[in-house]
Chain A
Amino acid sequence: MTTALSFHIKLQRKDFTLDVKADIPNGITGIFGPSGHGKTSLLNSIAGIVTPDSGYIHLNGDTLLDSNKKVNVKIRQRRVGYVFQDERLFPHYTIKKNLLYGEKNPDQDLFDEVVDTLQIAHLLNKKPEQCSGGEKQRAAIGRAIISGSKILLMDEPFSALDVNLRREIIPYLNRVHQKFSLPILIVSHDLPDLLSLTDNLLLLKNGQLLGHGKFTDLLDQPENLELMHESGWYNVMHLSVFAHLESKNMVLLKSNKSNLQIQALTQTIGKDVEVNQALKVLIKPESIALSKEPVQNISLRNQVGGIMKEVFLKDGLAFCIVDVGENIIVEVTEASQKSMCLEKGQRVYCLFKSASLKIY
């Protein structure tokens, strides 16, 4: 995947130092870390709201900042679309005027496509205060796209929304990325929300980069594991619809890269999904049980075989990384791990209910 954004940002603030260097690919990248560890400062530096002490920022080949060459492009010239945590729609303008604020005469096709993709046509003549939280968030995303942004920065876009509205906004973000080919950098301290959008993560702790890469690859480091475990995490599997098992009211999902296949409830996915449609399947590590043998006569619909890659022990828990075609993490108690003698290199079976899956 090509690099959309590369940066090295150094910022000193009283008792806090931000020092992060990364190359961001052309897709959706999640910035994850605890609150107050520099995520928003990083976004603000990229947007130009905060000026780093030193470093560089290159966006699609353009230099936005280079402290050595004394280049610091002004906020208004950076063409960085920033969707803030609190939307920041202008309260005295209608949604339509908000959308057109950054670009008064946008390409009509683009305007129509944004309005259509985000389903905000019915809001155009309303004032922001007449819209719900999810509607305002969508309008703010639309405003950033129409202003001609080359990248979308999103700061905690879910934090102000309740659980239902969060689920509502996630498909829109996926659609925005697919339709407008915009790289999206999304900050959150909520790992499950981030993982529902992307598994390409940038982990930040104390202003430093802890890791950058695929979620499953990041699991190899105990420090990353600890950070992500604190937030409540999910395994993410990229699967496609293989067949509708209508008599069982189930859908069979398969990986395109390995032999991994699982069954999910039809009502979790929806009846109208088509064969070959790509889906993201999420499951909590604590919702998976381990067995050394296939188990007969059991109500669980999914028994996935794999090889134990690593076992980490912490606070009475054992975090087992199992290669089932993709790396997944399974959380069991240390007592179970010891009594079952679970070790690296063993063949194990991951058991889980179809109902425990979240599918996007």
Chain B
Amino acid sequence: MSELFKYTASEWSAIQLSLSVALICAVITLPLAIAVGWFLARKKFFGKSVVEGIIHLPLVLPPITTGYLLLLVFGNRGVFGKFFYETFGIQIAFSFYAAVIAAIFVSFPLVTRSIRLSIELVDQKLEEAARTLGASNLRVFFTITLPLALPGVISGFILSFARSLGEFGATISFAGNIEGKTQTLPLAIFSEMQVPGQEASTMRLVVVSVILSLLAMIAAEFLNKRVIKSKTA
């Protein structure tokens, strides 16, 4: 029983790496998703359905396919990968960056959808009223739209964090499964499952995975309720 609480260095490393990837991913994804979510919610343009389809593609694509496509673009011979490697000497594929990029691509449509829906629910008449009071578009966004869409934004942030914690397919194909470098929690669980006799180690990682995901969901609910309460107080 006590084996369930004895975490090895590699297990701690996987937990730490997962948290870092998820947090960085959520922080990077959020502003991008707010911008794209606002654009999709408020603007009409030719080809909007196609753009929406492309943004939502990672939701339905097999994650392994997403990983492979990322490899094609960010690999050392890919358009961006080659540029980064030759200009800055940075290899993206099979690195920590790759794990973060894979998580961003997979969680982006989820976050964008959440934020877009909450922006759509903000009454545009309030934005109109703010403009008649002299507010610029930027001020309208930061003082009216964003605060009123806050529950969706918070949900989006937590969703991004939680989805990144669980990311597996795209990460293993694009970032690999390198212990201490790209081996996140799901990859570590997968590796342990392959080795006979590692049931205790697998269980330790599974427990952490469940707890982290549960905490993220509880935090999302808690923050959401606080926002709603502060708005109606």
Using CB atoms, name the residue of chain B closest to A103: B134
- Interface pair B232/A49, CB less than 8 Å apart: no
**Judging by beta carbons under 8 Å apart, are B148 and A92 in contact?**
yes
Classify the interface of chain B: helix, strand, loop or mixed: helix
Contact B133 A84 (CB under 8 A): no
Q: Which residues of A contact B129 (CB under 8 A)?
A: 82, 84, 88, 90
Within B187-233, the residues touching A (CB, 8 Å) are 231-233
Measured CA separation A47–B129 after assembly (Å):
10
Name the distance in Å between B126's Cβ and chain A's nearest Cβ: 6
Partner of B147, one of A78, A92, A102, A144: A92
Closest CB of chain A to B133's CB: distance in Å? 3
Residue of A nearest to B233 (CB): A127
Contact check, B132 vs A75: say whether CB atoms are below 8 A apart. Answer: yes
Query: How many Å lie between the Cα of A126 and that of B134 in the bound state?
Result: 23
Contact between A49 and B136, CB atoms less than 8 A apart: no
By the criterion CB–CB under 8 Å, are B128 and A76 in contact? no
Max chain B C-beta neighbours (<10 A), residue from A79, A81, A92: A92
CB nearest to B136 among chain A residues: A76
In the bound complex, do residue A148 and residue B132 qualify as a contact, i.e. CB atoms below 8 Å apart? no
**Of the residues B125, B135, B144, B231, contact of A76 by C-beta under 8 Å:** B135
Does B69 reach chain A (CB closer than 8 Å)?
A: no
Nearest neighbor of B139 in chain A, beta-carbon distance = A76
Q: How many B residues touch A, CB cutoff 8 Å?
A: 19
| Chain A at the B interface: SS class | loop
Q: Decide yes or no whether B130 CB sits under 8 A from chain A.
A: yes
Question: In residues 31-76 of chain B, which contact A (Cβ within 8 Å)?
Answer: none
Does B131 count as interface, using CB distance less than 8 angstroms?
yes
A80-B131 Cα distance, complex, nearest whole Å: 10
Closest to A75 in B: B131
Given A127-B232, A127-B233, A129-B232, A90–B134 Cβ distance below 8 Å? no
Inter-chain CA distance A24–B148, complex, in Å, is 38
User: A110-151 CB contact bits vs B (8 Å, 1 = yes)?
Assistant: 000000000000000001010000000000000110011000
Whether the pair A91, B148 counts as a contact (CB closer than 8 A) is yes
* B37, chain A: closest CB distance, angstroms: 19
- B133's partner among A49, A127, A143 (CB-CB below 8 A) is A143
Q: Name the CB-closest residue of A to B148.
A: A92
A47-B130 Cα distance, complex, nearest whole Å? 12
Are A147's CB and B133's CB within 8 A? yes
Cα–Cα, bound, A92→B230 (Å): 8
Q: Which residues of A contact B232 (CB under 8 A)?
A: 127, 129
Which of A79, A86, A90 touches B130 (beta carbons < 8 Å)?
A: A90
CA distance A352 to B202 in the complex (A): 95
Q: What is the chain A residue whose CB lies nearest that of B130?
A: A101
The residue that B132 contacts in the complex, of A80, A92, A127, A129, with Cβ under 8 A, is A80
CA A86 – CA B129 in complex, angstroms?
A: 11
Contact of A299 with B by CB under 8 A: no
Inter-subunit contact A47/B132 (CB<8 Å) = yes
* In the A-B complex, the 9 residue pairs with the closest CB atoms: A102-B133, A88-B129, A82-B132, A75-B131, A147-B133, A76-B134, A92-B231, A102-B134, A92-B147
The chain B residues found within 8 Å of chain A, CB to CB, are 123, 125-126, 128-136, 143-144, 147-148, 231-233
**18 additional contacts (CB under 8 A) given A91-B148, A127-B232, A129-B232:** A47-B132, A48-B132, A49-B131, A49-B132, A75-B128, A76-B132, A76-B134, A78-B132, A79-B134, A80-B132, A86-B125, A88-B125, A90-B143, A90-B144, A101-B130, A101-B133, A102-B135, A147-B133
Ordered by A's residue number, 16 sampled pairs between the chains whose C-beta atoms are within 8 Å are A48-B132, A75-B132, A76-B132, A76-B135, A82-B129, A82-B132, A88-B123, A88-B128, A91-B126, A91-B148, A92-B148, A101-B143, A102-B135, A127-B232, A129-B232, A143-B133
Q: Hey, which bits of chain A sit against chain B, CB under 8 A?
A: 47-49, 75-82, 84, 86, 88, 90-92, 101-103, 127, 129, 143-144, 147-148
